[in-house]
Structure 1
């Protein structure tokens, strides 16, 4: 039998999350208030507590939702087995994901909300994406943690520059392939020299 009460609760939670994202895009992540979210869904602010225990619980649900969206898209990224082509594809996906929704990028990959830390459960979802990237690198023989750090720094650096200095444009997006070629040449050289296992 269907649990109609649970279904209504889940639909309302989803509506609240949609309203929270709309509010965050309009007011900034740190400017999100439960009063504004409640107004967008047509309820009194105290009623939100039937769905989320606190504003941090709303942020946490947004964080988990964003991480799941990232993982779904990452799973659809076509890899060819060619190391450089795959690095470019992964970087294009990551930077595209970040620049299509800067608010989501800020919540997932920056510390924009003072005092907010995702729950262990939500953070575990985000770690799946990093695990997949680590696995892709291991598939081309790169297991050095610094190589992963460098790759993520390049990706977030290009995303930050694009969002900050050319929103809606492609000034830094155009540099993705070149950045990945430089990165690949660097790690290949280190691997040959025996610096990276």
Structure 2
């Protein structure tokens, strides 16, 4: 009994320490940029020496990996709550706007999720799984409104991420490209011959 309690306490303490480290890593990335993350900075923020981090994460890439998984899990949590309309254009707008808003809310998170800013970083299968779930959920929603071709899905994701990148590059914190999402979706829907909304 005593041994089980001690083991549970150690596991709990380790989980708390990992969460604190990841929280510090996100704070550092948001202040200095994702690529500028250093173990020394993260360690100082949690009151450790940098070598002590290795008892919780094997490397800086292991921290990136956990952050990647957290980021995509957060997005999955968002889209699990969505009620996607049955009509094509409102469905496309909702999916696009939801991802756009999530991406432009946090540059560091967006860079880790969607831009290859970390040299030689490849997420583990476990951390990549939420991204796969998010993409599968989007494919299901698009299939439900008649969008099935891989090329059409690729075009849709390129369209949205292009607007996101333009927003971050040219009007961070603004709405210049956010205002174009619905228009871009309508152009996409027109190209695919999806029915227009009744007037």
Tell whether the structures are fold-level matches, with TM greater than 0.5.
yes
Contact 1:16-1:37 within 8 A present in 2 as well: yes
Give unmatched runs, 5+ long, in structure 1. Answer: 192-197
Match of 1:42 among 47, 63, 85: 47
CA distance in 2, matches of 1:165, 1:47: 40
1:5-55 per-position Cα deviation (integer Å, ceiling 9, x unaligned): 111111110010010011111121111010000000011111101110000
What is the aligned length? 190
Which ranges of 4 or more aligned residues in structure 1 deviate by more than 6 Å?
none
Contact 1:78-1:89 within 8 A present in 2 as well: no
Task: Report whether the alignment pairs 1:137 with 2:173.
Answer: no
- Equivalent position of 1:112 in the other structure: 117
CA distance in 1, matches of 2:192, 2:44: 51
1:144-183 per-position Cα deviation (integer Å, ceiling 9, x unaligned): 0001100100110010011111111100001111111111
Contact 2:43-2:50 within 8 A present in 1 as well: yes
1:37-92 per-position Cα deviation (integer Å, ceiling 9, x unaligned): 00000111111011100000000000000010010011122312111101101111
Give unmatched runs, 5+ long, in structure 2. Answer: none
CA distance in 1, matches of 2:123, 2:162: 22
CA distance in 2, matches of 1:77, 1:182: 23
CA distance in 2, matches of 1:127, 1:10: 25
Task: Report whether the alignment pairs 1:128 with 2:133.
Answer: yes
Task: Report whether the alignment pairs 1:154 with 2:159.
Answer: yes
Q: Secondary structure at the match of 1:20?
A: helix
1:80-95 equivalences in 2 (<5 Å) = 80-95=85-100
- Between 1:173-182 and 1:77-86, the stretch displaced more is 77-86
CA distance in 2, matches of 1:40, 1:78: 40
- Equivalent position of 2:13 in the other structure: 8
What value does the CA root-mean-square deviation take over the aligned residues? 1.4
Contact 1:67-1:108 within 8 A present in 2 as well: yes
TM-score normalised by structure 2 residue count: 0.92
Contact 2:68-2:113 within 8 A present in 1 as well: yes
- Equivalent position of 1:20 in the other structure: 25
TM-score normalised by structure 1 residue count: 0.93
CA distance in 2, matches of 1:65, 1:32: 17
